[in-house]
Amino acid sequence: MIKHLILFASFLLASAAAAQTQEDQILQQVRDQEHARNAAIMRKMDQGVDSMNVGSYQVAEKLFREVLKEAKVVPTDLTFYFGKNSYLTEKYQQSIDWLNKYIEIKGTSGRYYEETIQLLGHAKNAFLKIRSEERKEASQLISSSNYEIDCGPTGKVLCPVCRGEGVIIERGAFGNTYRDCPYSDEHGYLTCEEYNQLLRGELETKN
C-alpha cells in the first residue's frame, strides 16, 4: 500500500514538473515573440531615421506612423524623430506637439534636448509666420471691393461685432456696461449688403 502511495506521489510530482516545464516553455515562447516584435519595431524606427537623414521625409513619416500604430509603448526617441521630421515637412503644429512631448518625457536630460529646443523655436516662428500670412491673405481677399459674400436666402446675417446680441457688453471693475451695437439692428442682425460693407470697412455706424 505504501509502495503504491509512493509511486502515485512520484507520478503527481512528475506530472507537476512536466506541467511546469510546459508552462515555462509557453511563457518563454511568448517572451521570445514579444522580443522579436519589439526588435522589428525598433528596426523600422531606425529605417525611418535613416530615411529622414537622407531627405526622404515622406518615407520617414510613413515608417514613424507605422511604429506608432504597432508599438504597445511608444519609444521615447520616436517623439523627437517624429517632431523633427514634421518640422522638415513643414507640418509645424505637429512638430511643436511632438517636440513638446519629448521634453515632457525626458526633461533637460534627454540627449536630443538642445536640438529639440532649437527645432521648437524654428517651428513656432514658422507656424506664427504662416498664420500671419494666412490672416493677411484672408483680410486682403475679403476686403476686395469686388468681393461679395452670399448670405443665403434670408438676406441677413448675425452681426460679428455684437455676435447677434444687439448690444455690446463691456466688462469693467465696477460691473458690466451695455451699449447698443453701432452696426446691427435691435435683434443683432445685418443685411447682406451691410455685412459685406462691414467686412470691407465701409459700413458707417448708426446715428
Q: Which residue ranges make up each domain of the chain?
A: 1-73, 75-142, 156-199
**What secondary structure letter does DSSP report for 195?**
H
Per-residue model confidence as pLDDT tens for the chain (207 residues): 665 556 655 656 666 566 667 776 667 776 767 777 888 888 999 999 999 999 999 999 999 999 888 877 778 888 899 999 999 999 999 999 989 888 888 888 889 999 999 999 999 999 888 887 766 665 555 555 455 667 777 888 888 888 888 888 777 666 777 888 888 888 888 888 888 888 777 888 876
- Per residue in 9-39, pLDDT (tens digit) is 565 666 656 666 777 666 777 676 777 788 8
CA distances from 71 to 45, 65, 78 (A): 10, 10, 11
Q: CB–CB of 70/91 below 8 Å? A: no
Percent of the chain clearing pLDDT 70 (strictly above): 77
> How far is the CA of 55 from the CAs of 51, 67, 97, 108, in angstroms?
6, 19, 22, 28
Would you give the end-to-end CA distance of the chain in angstroms? Answer: 117
Question: DSSP letters along 87-110, please?
Answer: HHTT-HHHHHHHHHHHHHHHGGGS
- CA distances (Å), origin 53, targets 49, 56, 88: 6, 7, 11
What integer pLDDT is reported at residue 199 of this predicted model?
Answer: 77
Q: Which three cell numbers stand for residue 173?
A: 471693475
User: Strands (DSSP E) along the chain, which ranges?
Assistant: 156-158, 167-172, 175-180, 189-191
Rounded Cα distance, 13 and 7, in Å:
10
